[in-house]
Each structure stands twice: as structure tokens, then as C-alpha cells.
Amino acid sequence: MKLNCKFNIFKFPKGDEFYQCKVLKIDQEIHQLEELEFIGQHLPEKSNSDVTFVEFCDTNCPKVPQGLTKIFPNLKALGFYNSKLKELSTADLAEYKSLVKFISNRNLIDFLPGDLFEGFKDLKHIDLYDNKLGIIEPNLLDSFDDLEYVSFIGNPQYATSYDKSAHYLQYTTLNDVKNHLFERFFHLKFEIFSDFVKKYPEPEQILKFYGQKALNYYTRMSTLDTKYRLYDELRQQGIEEFEEIDKKLREKCVNLEDSNLELSEKLEALEHSKLKMDEKIEKLKIELQNEKQEKVKLNKNLQKQIDSLAQKIQSALLVNFEK
């Protein structure tokens, strides 16, 4: 198969330049490239070894084509525009770990595994604008601390973006985007979440991906019933590996020094958790009872003051009436 290409200098918005091979429209499915021929005129004194950006435009690439780095050994950016790209897997991207930019715009990708970009030490730019993303495993970006740009704008479940150099976008820190992925994932169907948990069977691994994030997320939610619903479902489904993080989360949520929860909420959390923490439960019950008694005393004193003031007003009115 012959692929018609256009070679030129491509400038990204920030000004960084790449020598681009732009694969033009073709209807036949593209996958293995070793038997393909790239047809196009290089710029003067340029060759395949100078190409740093390959972009497939209006083509038919349901999966990432294999063998590109054998043709273009110095590839740093890979893009797909309206090219029917539907699947991204760790295996398909294995040869592209030297990428600085990965772009997929107006394609059909609906799922991103958490380890998709594992080992991509130089990756700075991820653009998945206008795909069909419904599921992104929440640890997708956990290994990155210095991404410059990431966008999921135009997707049904994850319309979020971050640009290190442009603070007018939705999020101004990379951690905001990571938290957004985590929170969106918790809104998905329980079956999807439990499948992900089973991929990381050791409690320490689950805690690594979920512990502090789960605590931060759930303590911000409005009701304990909502906070603990997922954990109850996990236990009912027999996912014993999740018991340890469940215990740690509840213990943190009901910690006596935690000022984010009312006493009544802490008590409810302990009784709800079915943990053997009788002493703490009793202590909380006593504190709650004392709190209620103090409120009753305050209310009684307030009522006495109101009654006394009412009597004084009534007496004053009677004196004035008699005069």
C-alpha cells in the first residue's frame, strides 16, 4: 500500500517546530506499516531520519499503526485527526515511548487504561480532544509531575483540560486534572470500578491509587450514606482485598481530631462500618449526649429569658393601660 504524504515544517501554538510527515486521506485500513510506502517530496536536505512528527489525517486507523519508528527513527510526536482511531493499548504504544507529544482529535477512543503511558519519560503533551471517552482509569496521569498540556475536552464524561502556560483553561494545576479523573471514575458503574480494583489485588497497591484520594473525595461529599455506598458494595461483592483500605478510610473519617465531621456523623460512621471500635463508639456517644444536654440547657435558659422578658413587657403594658 502506498501512502501519500506531505512533508513540511509544523509549528505548534507554543512555537516548537517539528519536521512533519502528514499522511493524507486514505480509506483502506492502516495497521502494519512495514509493507507500506510513504510517497511524498521531502524538503531540501531532509530525509526520513529528520521527521519528528507523523500525523494521520482523514485516514482509517482503528488501532495505532505499528512500525513507524523503523521508518522514522527520530519520531517525537504522533497525531491522529479524524482517522477512526478507536483503540489505544499499552502494547500498541510500546514502540513510541520516546514521544514528547501524543494527539488524537476527532476519533472514536472510548477507553484509556491506567498504564497506557507507563514508561513515557519525555511525554509533555497529551491531547485527546473530541473522542468518545467514557472510561479513563484514574491512575492514567499518576506517573507525571511535569506535563505541560493535557486535554480531554469534547468527551462525554471527561470535559477537562490543563495548560501550564494558559491559566484561563478549566484547571490551573495538573493535580486538579488528576483529581477530576479520579472523581469521574467513581461515578461510573460499580462493575467497572470492581474490575479495576481486581487488577491491583494487593491492599497496598489499591491504597496507593485510592487511599488518600478516596479520603479527600469522600470527606467533601454531603452525606455519609453517599460516602460509604461504594465501600458497602465492594464488600457485598466479596472483594476482600478492599477491606483494608475501607478500614483505613473509615478510621480517618471518624478520627476524633477530624474537624470536618460533626460528632453525630462520626458516630454514624463508626456504627455503619461494623468495625470493632466499641470504646471509641461509647466515647462518641457520651460526647454526643453531653452535646445534646448542653443544647437543651441553652434552650431552657433561652426560653426562661424570653418568658421573663414577655412578663416584663406585659406588666409595662398593664401599667400604661391603667394610667
CATH 3.80.10 fits 2-188, yes or no: yes
| Residues contacting residue 242 through CB under 8 Å, at least 6 positions apart | 197, 203, 206, 231, 234, 235
pLDDT along the chain (323 residues), means of 10: 91 90 86 74 96 96 92 97 95 96 97 93 96 88 90 87 72 79 69 61 48 46 46 52 55 52 58 53 71 78 74 65 55
DSSP, residue by residue, 165-227: T-TTSSBSSHHHHHHHHHHHHTTS-HHHHHHHHHHS-SHHHHHHHHHHHHHHHHTTSS-HHHH
User: Closest by alpha carbon to 275, among 251, 256, 258, 257?
Assistant: 251
Positive or negative: CA dihedral 195, 198, 188, 173: negative
Q: Where are the domains of the chain?
A: 2-188, 191-282
Q: For residue 182, what are the CA distances in angstroms to 49, 187, 228?
A: 40, 9, 16
Task: Supply the pLDDT for residue 48.
Answer: 95
C-alpha cell at 148: 505541560
Q: Which amino acid is at 168?
A: Y
> Both ends of the chain: CA-CA distance in Å?
113
Q: Are 180 and 127 in contact (CB under 8 A)?
A: no
Q: For residue 251, what are the CA distances in angstroms to 213, 238, 289?
A: 15, 21, 21
Q: Which amino acid is at 298?
A: L
Number of CB atoms found within 10 A of residue 57's CB: 16
Task: Supply the pLDDT for residue 264.
Answer: 62
Q: Are 96 and 60 in contact (CB under 8 A)?
A: no
Task: Supply the pLDDT for residue 122.
Answer: 96
Beta bridge partners of 17: 11
Task: Supply the pLDDT for residue 69.
Answer: 93
pTM score, whole prediction: 0.66
Cα angle for residues 146, 149, 150 (degrees, 5° grid)? 105
Q: Which residues of 278-301 are buried (b: 16+ CB within 10 A; e: fewer)?
A: eebbeebeeeeeeeeeeeeeeeee
Task: Supply the pLDDT for residue 168.
Answer: 53
3-state secondary structure of 150: strand
Q: What's the half-sphere exposure (Cβ side, CA atoms, 13 Å) at 282?
A: 4
Task: Supply the pLDDT for residue 207.
Answer: 45
Give the largest CA-CA distance in the chain. Answer: 115
